[in-house]
A and B are shown apart, each in its own frame.
Chain A
Amino acid sequence: MTGSLAAFQSGLGRALTGEDTCPIDSHSAGFRFTMKVRRSWCEGRTMMAARAVLAVVPDGERQRLVSEYVDQGGGLALFLAAEREAFLAFLAPRLPDPSHALTICRMGQALAQARLGASMFVPLRERVGGGRVGRGRHAALVWFHADPSAVMMALKGGKLPPVGPPDHAVLFAPGLPNLFRTATEAEAALWAELPAADAPPALTARLLMEGVLAYPA
């Protein structure tokens, strides 16, 4: 073989991104078929990584978004969680606002963050004398535009409820059982004001324990 293994692999890898460096016949039926299979793997990985949000995006739009993502180099991650994170970040600014799809996208991002934080989570106790509190590093609040359970049912094949005002707030944090729960009105109001120096202790004690709140470093 002429040239090293490293050169062969690098040339092939760069050819996959469109450079004219392919060390084998790129016009052969086998190479073209390999590219087709690769494309379908990238699209399939993307679909699998974000099944929930894509389930509520109309068919044509779903295919267009996945194609655009793969065209930009997406769909290559070895692990689904990494693919999901990248694809949801790509999707968020492209989904209609408000929409259930955007809510589910944000929920996916919030869950991933909460899950990430859960492996090293240590509940915080309230400091004597209180003090300034902010949002937990792995916490989020997501507004739903319909009853969250109705939106979730739609993911299992039910009909999506109409998009209404953002009346339902759900908290995501590493210290919550199952990583999420419904937020009370007071909690949602506090979340909007964070960071806050004068949060009511009755509210903050629980939220600190759950990882929703944190003391600024």
Chain B
Amino acid sequence: MPGPLGIGFGCHLTLPNALYTPDLLDFVEVTPEIFHREENVQGCIQLVPDHKPFAAARRRCGSLPVTMHGVSLSIGSAHGMYEPCLTMMDRLRGEWRFHWYSEHLHFQTTLDANGEATNTGIPFPLPPTEEAAGLVAARAAFIQRRYGVPFLLENPVHYLPDLPADPEIGDEFGLMGRIIALSGCGQLLDLHNLYCNAINFGFDAITALERIRLDRVGEIHVAGGSWRDGFYMDAHDGLVPEPVWDLLEQTLSRAPWIPGVVFEILDEYLERLGPDGIARELERARTIWRRHHPVAEAAA
């Protein structure tokens, strides 16, 4: 795993610069697709930078370390990954140093009746099977070699019961563990996703931590969510709930070497918290981080 970075936050262009200072943040997590658009270049779909927002994102990150958190690769699609993401990352690797690259363990494209790739409109979880583990592991290992930085897979949130499973894999924890073992990649442990799944599927999140390879966790996400129709949703719409802060405390007490913690919120909910509210969430994450990082605390 990479060396510690500390507390991170997404690259939100509408927030004041004052939030993006080393006093408050140790690194910025960039979702590169936000600053790119699809373009048909000589018959080939490519992701090209949207020049103004891309330049603004570079300025926003300034001298802060950067990590890349992709959202469009669809690493679990049986018919193939979304290749333009890889060529986008090839280009970014040459022009914008990043400490690690993360993506989501899910699929969001399938083949339709005509064999054409089609978007599902929402990410879907992979069934916990040997086939799924082998497919993703091979791709994850390839990506990690390709960029020469750690590649992390984020545990997904979903609401689907009874996914078909192979007994030797069992569930989402078995699937992630198998992929990590086969590929050598790491995990982005999204504690809010874990919390959502624990509520919606009725298991204990703290106990589930014991089934996660914390030695392979390269980053943690915390976020807020909300209830709808009897389900607790990973909505990224506000404050981190207390049980997720408890999970962060528990995780870092067991694995203080984890390199970074990121607070996630969607652009459309930034106003709900405001810069001060966001700063408070980042401060709280830092307080927990420091409690478990004597080296970081001493340096501060």
User: Which residues of A pack against B, CB within 8 Å?
Assistant: 1-6, 8-10, 12-14, 16-17, 19, 23-25, 28-31, 33-34, 36-38, 41-42, 75-82, 116, 119
Contact = CB atoms under 8 A, between A and B. Distances in A.
A67 to B, nearest CB: 15
Interface stretch (B16-24, B157-165, B278-286): B157-165
Nearest to B108: A78
Nearest to A23: B164
Contacts, number: 116
Contacts of B78: 4-6, 8-10
A10 B117 CA distance: 10
A16 B111 contact: no
Interface in B89-130: 107-108, 110-113, 118-122, 124, 126-127, 129
Interface in B20-63: 33, 36-39, 47-48, 50-51
B233 A5 contact: no
A12 B123 CA distance: 12
25 contacts: A1-B131, A5-B129, A6-B79, A6-B111, A9-B77, A9-B107, A14-B110, A14-B112, A16-B120, A19-B113, A23-B164, A24-B162, A28-B161, A29-B230, A30-B159, A30-B160, A33-B228, A33-B229, A33-B230, A37-B233, A75-B121, A78-B38, A78-B108, A81-B37, A116-B39
A76 to B, nearest CB: 4
A6 B115 CA distance: 11
A24 B163 contact: yes
Nearest to B130: A1
A1 B166 contact: yes
Nearest to A78: B72
Contacts of A16: 120-121
Nearest to B233: A37
Interface in B145-183: 158-166
A123 B107 CA distance: 43
Given A6-B78, A78-B72, A34 B160 contact: yes
A177 to B, nearest CB: 13
Contacts of A24: 160-164
Given A16-B121, A33-B159, A76-B119, 14 more contacts: A1-B165, A5-B78, A6-B79, A6-B111, A8-B78, A9-B79, A24-B161, A28-B161, A31-B159, A37-B233, A76-B118, A78-B119, A81-B37, A82-B38
Contacts of B228: 33
B135 A5 contact: yes
B144 interface: no
Contact of B160 (A14, A31, A36, A42): A31
Nearest to A2: B164
A207 B13 CA distance: 34
Name the 4 nearest CB pairs between A and B, nearest first: A13-B110, A6-B78, A38-B122, A1-B164
Contact of B39 (A28, A31, A119): A119
A168 B98 CA distance: 48
Contacts of B159: 30-31, 33-34, 37
B87 to A, nearest CB: 15
A116 B51 CA distance: 11
A41 B122 contact: yes
A103 B107 CA distance: 38
A34 B79 contact: no
Contacts of B161: 24-25, 28, 30-31
B112 A30 contact: no
Contacts of A5: 78, 126-127, 129, 131-132, 135
Contacts of A38: 120-122
B269 interface: no
Nearest to A3: B164
Contacts of A14: 110, 112-113
A33 B158 CA distance: 10
Nearest to A112: B37
B18 to A, nearest CB: 24
A43 to B, nearest CB: 10
Interface string B190-209: 00000000001000000000
Nearest to B113: A14
Contact of B82 (A23, A36, A78, A119): A78
Contacts of B158: 34
A149 to B, nearest CB: 21
Contacts of A78: 33, 38, 72, 82, 108, 119
